[in-house]
Amino acid sequence: MAHDTLKNANKAKKDEFYTQLTDIEKELRHYKDQFKDKVVYCNADDPFESNFFKYFASNFNLLGIKKLIATSYSGSPILGTQISLFDIQGVKAEKEKEPIKIVINEVKDYNKDGAIDISDVEYLLKHDKNTAKKLKGSGDFRSNECVEILKEADIVVSNPPFSLFREYISQLEEHNKKFLIIGNTNAITYKETFALIKDNKLRTGYTNFNVGMFFVVPDDWEKYHHIDENGNKIARVSTSCWFTNLQVKKHTEDLILYKTYIGNEDQYPKYENFNGIEVSRVADIPIDYKGFMGVPITFIDKHNPEQFEIIGLGISNSGIDIGVQPYKPEHKKYRKEIQKRGAVDGDLYIMENGIVKVPYARIIIKNKRI
């Protein structure tokens, strides 16, 4: 068990992406009222490198935060690379990579320059020994020590390693925490994540679902998009988006539908193994169809639970759970032997002129308005 945890942790280091401040500002500006009088916890890699910590520390008073807590973990490849831990009061570090906990209850204009910003937070850390303390353990979000810190928090905001997303979000749900986090868009198809979306306990944020995001990556990364003006390696992760259980206005607004099924039946083929129609683009969802429709996973970014009911996911075992039938023997044989492709029972498929067509990951929905 210990070996598996270590192996997973080592794997996680390869999918740690450090969010740019501009992306954080663009998303979090929509939630200002929801942070007022709340305890915010950033269980990030290093408070001094984490732009989440910088954002909340710099906007502590503007957001009306009650308390800001941040922790680092010993496995972070960037821990302690900006402000030396030896300079911080309350932390007698023996090694630069030791994990710490920072708690901020107020931010003032400590350096008397007429503005409250990250320099005041740095001043606070260097002069108030009660602000920062060494953690006893590794700082891993799954450790008992960090779970106890989590219990104190109202809202968790972070960018967890994508490979640990299931564990991370399950922990937040277990402890009934509000959260705003970044994850891989394909996490929508995870059984645990999809169940939360279906029950309206999880939704995407404001940032466009399809554009992807640029992240700062460690110096030892060989593949990256470009180097920014500060010398940081920047990588683009096209499959990334914000997930939250905070209120998001766009998910209370109806998706405008303009196409009709009646008169355009040929544009909406029926599935061979499920009683529903294929809708290849969210923009093409018909306004007048009463039955089940299979739509791309990008639909989740437009979903209003008052307008549509999510029935389930039309892939693999999830598809079987909602009544998707197994492949017919002759179609499975064609798929494997002629097309040389996988044929997983539970996946939706269409027959078109004798050819098996399998659309990528469809969500089955039904219009509540008709």
- CA distance readout (Å), 55 to 21, 50, 58, 234: 7, 9, 5, 19
Q: CA 365 to CA 354: how far, in whole Å? A: 27
Confidence at residue 81, expressed as pLDDT on a 0 to 100 scale: 43
List per-residue pLDDT tens for the chain, 370 residues long. Answer: 333 333 333 344 455 667 888 889 999 999 999 999 999 999 865 676 788 988 998 899 999 999 999 998 765 444 444 444 335 455 544 455 678 899 999 888 787 887 777 787 777 877 776 688 889 988 899 999 999 999 999 999 998 888 899 999 999 999 999 999 999 898 999 999 999 999 999 999 999 877 777 777 777 777 777 888 777 788 777 778 999 999 999 999 999 999 999 999 999 999 999 999 999 999 999 999 999 999 999 999 999 999 999 999 999 999 999 999 999 999 999 999 999 999 999 999 999 999 999 999 999 999 999 9
pLDDT number for residue 21: 86
261 DSSP 8-state letter: S
Query: Phi then psi for 31, rounded to 5 degrees?
Result: -115, 15
Coil, strand or helix at 218: coil
Report angle CA 160, 166, 172 to the nearest 5 degrees: 70
Give me the pLDDT at residue 14, please. 54
Q: pTM for this one?
A: 0.86
CA 338 to chain centre: 38
- Return the residue matching tokens 């999809």: 194
What DSSP letter does each residue of 117-184 carry, written as one string? SHHHHHHHHHH-TTTEEE-SS---TTSHHHHHHHHH-SEEEE---GGGHHHHHHHHHHTT-EEEEEE-
Residue 355 to residue 338: CA distance in whole angstroms: 10
- What gap in Å lies between CA 321 and CA 311, rounded to an integer? 10
